[in-house]
Amino acid sequence: MIRRILALAVLALPLPALAQDGEIVRSERATFRLTTFATGLERPWGAALLPDGRLLVTERPGRLRVVGRNGAVSRPLDGVPQVEVASQGGLLDVALGPDFETSREIFLCSATLVQGGALTRLTRARLSDNASALEAVTPILDATPAQSSGRQHYGCRITFGPDGRLFLSTGDRNVDRMRSQRLDDLAGKMLRVDREGRPQRDNPFADRQGARGEVFSYGHRSPQGLAFNPWTGSLWQTEHGPRGGDELNIIRPGANYGWPVVTHGVNYSGTTISEQKSAPGMEDPIRVWTPVISPAGIAFYDNAAFPGWQRSLFIAALNSPGLVRLTTDGDRVTGEERLLFNRRIRMRDVLVAQDGAVLVLTDEVQGRILRLAPAE
């Protein structure tokens, strides 16, 4: 009863305010109008843009909804698999299959409870013709072993490469950090699989005895942003550090990204994790944030709607909360701009709409989708 009263009290609190819905915001390279595109979402986590301009949006408590082109939010879709909703767990990312227009296949990542504990699960399903339900729901990959304690650091971001193969990030699960370094363990990794969840024959550890064939890279802590650079073809990833040491990485096959052997951060208590920030045989990040921004979803921008934002990488930031825009030149970061950091709104994911507007999912009980559109 007390828990329910507290939940109702939270729902009654006012949302962190936009200064004025529809206000004009001037940034370094663009002037945009900031509006609330959709409301009524509880802890939205991931989104996928449908071919007709609607959105599929996950809610961490275990629901999947369709958001219309006018911002209208559907009822929860039927057939969504059961997930483990605790701490950072729940229904997390969603992605469309590369041939969605003919197959209507989608992919979900979630925290899932199995015998032995919780793990990161990848599920394939078909979106019904009227977009009201999931059909043929099939788990295709579990990031084993399951973990009995702790409900954090699932990773769970999905993307597809230009060749149609699926990449999935998994977190270290925050109990035994060295899971990230063990190649027979799927925690703390970047995985590359086909649409059945099977490891690829040319993965870097496919033929190594004692290693899992799904592993593409390792040594990751809590990776929540994943996107291919459309100009270079490289895979970019954002990763939460502990207290300090958030990272932006370019993912290379077989590379070790060091956690927890190397890190730019310390424990939340202030104690040392490692004396090393870099080491031979371990990949360095291309950018580090201390103090942290808690980087979540990312999206590259290459649309004519905002010429000044072309070749930018947008990062949804949870803490300090806001939207980070990085300017890029090939696989280099050349500058950084922070947008909306004065709004106190935790941002979980970002994507680019068909008309070039930037859409941002807010990490709130009364979750929203914010829209940044040209101010004309």
Ramachandran region of residue 136, left (φ > 0), alpha (ψ -120 to 50) or beta?
left
Q: What DSSP assignment string belongs to 189-219?
A: EEEEE-TTSPBPTTSTTTT-TTS-TTEEEE-
Q: Per the domain annotation, does 239 fall within a domain? A: yes
Summarised one tens digit per residue, pLDDT across range 329-356 is 999 999 999 999 999 999 999 999 999 9
Does residue 1 carry a pLDDT above 60? no
Does residue 162 carry a pLDDT above 50? yes
Summarised one tens digit per residue, pLDDT across range 237-261 is 999 999 999 999 999 999 999 999 9
Does residue 8 carry a pLDDT above 60? no
Summarised one tens digit per residue, pLDDT across range 285-311 is 999 999 999 999 999 999 999 999 999
pLDDT given at position 21 = 83
Does residue 11 carry a pLDDT above 90? no
Q: Per the domain annotation, does 77 fall within a domain? A: yes
**Whether the model pTM is above 0.85:** yes
For range 362-368, the mean pLDDT: 98
Summarised one tens digit per residue, pLDDT across range 75-84 is 999 999 999 9
pLDDT given at position 17 = 62
Q: Per the domain annotation, does 288 fall within a domain? A: yes
Q: Per the domain annotation, does 15 fall within a domain? A: no
Q: Given 153, 220, 240, 264, which residue is catalytic?
A: 153
Ramachandran region of residue 178, left (φ > 0), alpha (ψ -120 to 50) or beta?
alpha
Whole-number percent of the chain with pLDDT over 70: 95
pLDDT given at position 376 = 75
The answer to whether residues 115 and 146 touch, using CB atoms and an 8 Å cutoff, is yes
In terms of residue numbers, what domain contains 355?
Answer: 37-364
Query: Tokens 């936009």 label which residue?
Result: 18
What are the phi and psi torsion angles at 179 (to 5°)? -55, -35
Q: Per the domain annotation, does 169 fall within a domain? A: yes
Q: Per the domain annotation, does 212 fall within a domain? A: yes
Where residue 201 falls among pLDDT bands split at 50, 70, 90? very high
Residue 276 belongs to a domain with what CATH number? 2.120.10.30
Q: Per the domain annotation, does 283 fall within a domain? A: yes
Where residue 12 falls among pLDDT bands split at 50, 70, 90? very low
For range 53-59, the mean pLDDT: 98
Summarised one tens digit per residue, pLDDT across range 26-45 is 999 999 999 999 999 999 99
The answer to whether residues 154 and 111 touch, using CB atoms and an 8 Å cutoff, is yes
pLDDT given at position 150 = 97
Give CA–CA dist 342/320, Å, rounded: 10
* Amino acid found at 237: Q
Annotated active-site residue 153? The verdict is: yes
pLDDT given at position 16 = 63
Q: Three-state DSSP class for 79?
A: coil
The lowest-confidence range among 14-23, 194-203, 285-294 is 14-23
Q: Tell me the average pLDDT of the chain.
A: 95
Domain count, the chain: 1
pLDDT given at position 15 = 60
Q: How many residues does the chain have?
A: 376
What is the 3 state secondary structure string of 239-285?
ECCCECCEEEEEECCCCECCCCCCCCCECCCCCCCCCCCCCCCCCCC
Q: Per the domain annotation, does 374 fall within a domain? A: no
Cα 332 from chain centre: 21
